[in-house]
Amino acid sequence: MFAPETYRMALVLMLTSMVFWGSWPNFLKKLAGWRLEYFYIDFTIGFLLTAVLLGQTLGSGVGEPDHLARLLQSGQREITFAVVGGFIWNIGNILLLNSIMIAGLAVAFPIAAIPAIVLGIGASYWLQPVGNPMILATSAVILLVAAQTTAAAYRRLGDVIAPNKGKGIATALISGLLIGFFPPFVTAAITGERALDAYTVSTFFTAGAFVATFIAMPILIRRPLIGDAGRLGGYLQGRTSWHVLGLLAGAVWCSGTVFNFISAGMVGIAISVGVGSGAPMVGALWGVFVWHEFAKGQASAKALIAVAMLLYVLGVAAMAVAYNFR
């Protein structure tokens, strides 16, 4: 079973997870006209299959029980924490994507970021106190300021959809609370009496997320938070390329999650998820250099996104060194 033997390797895995978490939404940008709900079904299938694949490859070593055997030997308490964590995260992520569609990135993102970062890092550290608490708190504050600065930059681009602002704010707040609650559940799963390893917790986590998708999507297709209602059968009418992009998006997200949980075995969830919280910086970099979102923006918008990038770098760097000053 692959696991980092040094902090340097764990840091590489955390930074890789940050890149992957910040990159998967690019696949959605390529699917104009395809319902978010249909995309998300493929996204979910992709991340569950990837979790199983990585478990059977990286998570299975010579002379030790393979991934499937370890899944079957897992404790009920730890399984429950992992599955519930995945379920909660996915409902939060679904609501976050909808809140962005309702009210725009500039409104939804900073509102969701506050509870997601504060709860995710704070509660995880309380359950598993690894790292310097003062440095962790400082880095969390920097990341929060970076999120608000990113939103301010997008506001200068006019990314605010006023008519549904109230609904978008409420949806974003709920999503941030749910996303913030998932790391403590994972922490409980990997620190219990029969603690799960990174690969088994990833599989159970994605299984919980899978269940959440297939409860939420039929409801949201028929009664969407924004836009017109659709048909569940419309999913089968999509192009093969659209389904493939959704599967790939799920594979990218899940790879980042597995790498993050692998590193958490050494540094703790608070630090690993904290470093992963730099993912919006990666997304913004895609927006600047690939999608040219700021090409025609005001000089102030460009200045703000540059400041946000710097803050993300400082926040992630502070989070990374917290482990060495514990």
Q: How far apart are CA 167 and CA 204, in angstroms?
A: 32
The CB-side HSE value for 291 (13 A sphere, CA atoms) comes to 14
pLDDT at residue 105 is higher than 80:
no
Q: Quote the pTM value.
A: 0.93
Sort 326 into a burial class: Cβ within 10 Å, 0-12 / 13-18 / 19+. middle
Q: Could you please report the per-residue DSSP string of 169-208?
A: HHHHHHHHHHHHHHHHHHHHHHHSTT---HHHHHHHHHHH
pLDDT at residue 40 is higher than 70:
yes
C-beta separation of 192 from 79 below 8 A? no
Name the residue with tokens 């897992």.
Answer: 74
Per-residue confidence band for 95, with pLDDT thresholds at 50, 70 and 90: very high
Q: How far apart are CA 226 and CA 223, in angstroms?
A: 9
Residue 233 Cα distances to 36, 37, 38, 110, 217, angstroms: 14, 12, 10, 35, 12
Query: What is the predicted pLDDT for the residue at 127?
Result: 92
Query: What is the predicted pLDDT for the residue at 231?
Result: 93
Q: How far apart are CA 58 and CA 135, in angstroms?
A: 32
Query: What is the predicted pLDDT for the residue at 65?
Result: 86
C-beta separation of 271 from 18 below 8 A? no
Average pLDDT, the chain: 92
> pLDDT digit string (tens) for 231-248?
999 999 999 999 999 999
Query: What is the predicted pLDDT for the residue at 145?
Result: 95
Torsion region of 33: left, alpha or beta (phi above 0 gives left; psi -120 to 50 gives alpha): left
pLDDT at residue 54 is higher than 70:
yes
> pLDDT digit string (tens) for 206-235?
999 999 999 999 999 999 998 899 999 999
> pLDDT digit string (tens) for 241-278?
999 999 999 999 999 999 999 999 999 999 999 999 99
Tokens of 305: 């996104």
Closest CA to 255 of 19, 22, 50, 40: 50
Q: How far apart are CA 87 and CA 94, in angstroms?
A: 11
Q: How far apart are CA 142 and CA 315, in angstroms?
A: 5
Percent of residues, the chain, with pLDDT higher than 70? 98
Per-residue confidence band for 37, with pLDDT thresholds at 50, 70 and 90: very high
Query: What is the predicted pLDDT for the residue at 161?
Result: 52
Q: At what angle do helices 269-276 and 105-127 cross, to 10 degrees?
A: 160
C-beta separation of 191 from 75 below 8 A? no
Query: What is the predicted pLDDT for the residue at 29?
Result: 83
Query: What is the predicted pLDDT for the residue at 31?
Result: 86
Closest CA to 95 of 273, 205, 220: 220
pLDDT at residue 35 is higher than 90:
yes
Among the ranges given (7-11, 18-22, 223-227, 295-299), the one the predictor scored with the smallest mean pLDDT: 295-299
C-beta separation of 22 from 29 below 8 A? no
Per-residue confidence band for 322, with pLDDT thresholds at 50, 70 and 90: very high
> pLDDT digit string (tens) for 152-188?
888 888 765 545 678 888 999 999 999 999 999 999 9
Sign of CA dihedral 199, 325, 321, 138: positive
Query: What is the predicted pLDDT for the residue at 247?
Result: 97
